[in-house]
Amino acid sequence: MRFTSEQRLDDGVVERGFTLGEVPGILWTPGSASAPAPLILLGHPGGLHRMYPRLAARARHTVAEGFAAATIELPGSGDRPRLATVDEARADLQRALAAGAPVDGEIVDRLVLPLVEKAVPEWRAALDALLALPGIGGPVGYAGGVIAIGVRLAVVEPRISAAVLFAGSYVPRSMFEEARQVTIPLLVLLQWDDEGNDRQMALDLFDAFGSREKTLHANMGGHTGVPGFEGDDGSRFFARHLR
Amino acid sequence: MRFTSEQRLDDGVVERGFTLGEVPGILWTPGSASAPAPLILLGHPGGLHRMYPRLAARARHTVAEGFAAATIELPGSGDRPRLATVDEARADLQRALAAGAPVDGEIVDRLVLPLVEKAVPEWRAALDALLALPGIGGPVGYAGGVIAIGVRLAVVEPRISAAVLFAGSYVPRSMFEEARQVTIPLLVLLQWDDEGNDRQMALDLFDAFGSREKTLHANMGGHTGVPGFEGDDGSRFFARHLR
């Protein structure tokens, strides 16, 4: 892990850019030294530059609540080399949506499964590096979209103790079986009128999770309309499970 | 309104029994005088004695958050005269459930509609009396089950500004049209595995509400298994909308 930039934001949060091999990432930590902070991994749909304003806002909120926050770029997104097969699948998906056609499970598989396969080992490597830094401790939470990545991480990565999952992206049918293997506490966010999501699929996925403690929060509005108070709810959820 | 008892609970909350005409009720207020507290009406399925431990716990939590709380007995419940038609409908419902038969909408209508028709004017009369007391101010919230009573109150009673509705009871199909007329902010609680409830009906009802701000919180477990943290979430919801 190599740090590439460091700045102190106006609220005292320290923001550091890093690269881990060829994967760029960002780490946000409290400005003043204190006890090791539990780490929240911030998931996102890819494109660190494009997503930066929303990621930074979530990170500052997270750090203000006493956590550290970190994210990495997704395979095929931002400045990373494109993944031709994923780009093709995304184009097929957009064609299907534009035509008002039902979204074929085969397209979803081609879009999401290679991303999960490539991204999850990268998130785990980032976790190794981040947890070796001073000031960052376990346990770890995952918060974010590309819910399939969150599901796989929750199954394979024992250091992740709780997750806030944003049910706003397509999930391959094969991952419902994985969802049954998830046992950590979950808070699942659903935007009820999300134009790019399948509400019934999100409800089925929530039903499938094997966790004894799982809570669904559904709110009105579209994909990017998650109300601000859900940020507070997420912090309290992590405070219950990571402290 | 006539007060029939008064006691100070160990956390300083003042609990007063009252009757309003023939309707018994309980009022919980902060022990020390302060600015008028917004009032939360606590809905319940009937039977003040039987429900007392759970109602008192909810009320103490509510008062600790700076509200006043009050409840009244439902028509046909507790010490009030039975409602023969409602009792018959309840027996028919239990027979249907015991037989594993689908619950006929006609039974639900006979069970719930007369309760709503009788209870809602009583809650409104209680509101008149309670808001005339010193130390209690508007705006008013409704929190509780018998969701059909909450729906009707939210439609006809303009003093109710926000509601936490527990989707754990049957709702007559005719009330879905009323749900569309509800415009106040709502927090709807759903127990995902509630054995005495129809999950799809609860989701349809949530969908039907006309409110621009409505949030669904679904948790694991049966009818009485609502997790304790939902009490905190409810308080924060009311704090956002009643202060």
| pLDDT tens figures, A63-98 | 999 999 999 999 999 999 999 999 999 999 999 989
Task: Check the CA dihedral A77-A81-A86-A88 and report its sign.
Answer: positive
- Beta-carbon separation of B240 and A218 below 8 A: no
**Cα separation, A230 vs A236, whole angstroms:** 10
For A26, half-sphere exposure in the C-beta direction (CA atoms, 13 angstrom radius) is 22
Q: Would you state the pLDDT for residue B23? A: 98
Interface probe with A: pick from B182, B194, B217, most Cβ of A within 10 Å = B217
Structure tokens at B48: 């003040």
Instruction: Give the model's confidence band at A170: pLDDT under 50 very low, under 70 low, under 90 confident, else very high.
Output: confident
Q: Which residues pair with A186 in a beta bridge?
A: A163, A214
Nearest to A86 by CA among A117, A116, A110: A110
pLDDT at residue A33 above 80?
no
Contacts of A212 in chain B (CB under 8 A): 220
Q: Is residue A66 part of a domain?
A: yes
The closest CB to that of B217, out of A207, A212, A215, belongs to: A215
For the CA atoms of A97, A75, A47, A152, what is the dihedral angle to 10 degrees? 70
In chain A, the number of structural domains is 1
**8 Å CB contact between A148 and A20:** no
pLDDT at residue A120 above 80?
yes
Residue window 179-198, chain A: list those with CB within 8 Å of chain B.
192
Identify the segments of chain B with pLDDT beneath 70. 33
In terms of DSSP bridges, do strands A23-29 and A14-20 run parallel, antiparallel, or are they unpaired? antiparallel
How near does any CA of chain A get to the CA of B130, in Å?
31
**8 Å CB contact between B214 and B206:** yes
Number of Cβ atoms within 10 Å of the Cβ of A142: 25
- The CATH number for B99's domain is 3.40.50.1820
Q: Is residue A200 part of a domain?
A: yes
Structure tokens at B148: 């059909």
For A152, half-sphere exposure in the C-beta direction (CA atoms, 13 angstrom radius) is 22
Q: What are phi and psi of A141, to 5 degrees?
A: -115, 155
**8 Å CB contact between B156 and B186:** no
- Beta-carbon separation of A220 and B214 below 8 A: yes
- Beta-carbon separation of B207 and A217 below 8 A: no
**Cα separation, B97 vs B103, whole angstroms:** 7
Q: Would you state the pLDDT for residue A198? A: 84
- Beta-carbon separation of A220 and B212 below 8 A: yes
| Contact B216/A at CB under 8 A | yes
Please write the tens of the pLDDT for every residue from A174-199: 999 999 999 999 999 999 998 777 89
Instruction: Give the model's confidence band at A103: pLDDT under 50 very low, under 70 low, under 90 confident, else very high.
Output: confident
**Mean pLDDT value of segment A203-232:** 94
**Mean pLDDT value of segment A111-133:** 97
How near does any CA of chain B get to the CA of A227, in Å?
9
Q: Would you state the pLDDT for residue A32? A: 84
Please write the tens of the pLDDT for every residue from A149-168: 999 999 999 999 999 999 98
Q: Is residue A232 part of a domain?
A: yes
Number of Cβ atoms within 10 Å of the Cβ of B181: 14
Q: Is residue A211 part of a domain?
A: yes
With pLDDT > 70 as the criterion, what percentage of chain A qualifies?
A: 100
Q: Would you state the pLDDT for residue A8? A: 96
Q: Is residue A110 part of a domain?
A: no
Number of Cβ atoms within 10 Å of the Cβ of A46: 19
Burial of A231 (0-12, 13-18, 19+ CB in 10 A): middle
Please write the tens of the pLDDT for every residue from A41-66: 999 999 999 999 999 999 999 999 99
CA angle B104, B108, B114 (to 5 degrees): 150
**8 Å CB contact between B191 and B197:** yes
Nearest to A142 by CA among A132, A152, A133, A128: A152
- Beta-carbon separation of A227 and B213 below 8 A: yes
What is the value of ipTM here, to two decimals?
0.87
Structure tokens at A91: 């184009």
Structure tokens at A142: 């995952």
Nearest to B22 by CA among B59, B69, B76: B76
Q: Would you state the pLDDT for residue A146? A: 87
Which three-class secondary structure state does DSSP give residue B71? strand
Contacts of A182 in chain B (CB under 8 A): none
- Beta-carbon separation of A218 and B220 below 8 A: no
Q: Is residue A57 part of a domain?
A: yes
Domain that holds residue B211: 2-242
Burial of B217 (0-12, 13-18, 19+ CB in 10 A): buried
- Beta-carbon separation of A207 and B192 below 8 A: yes
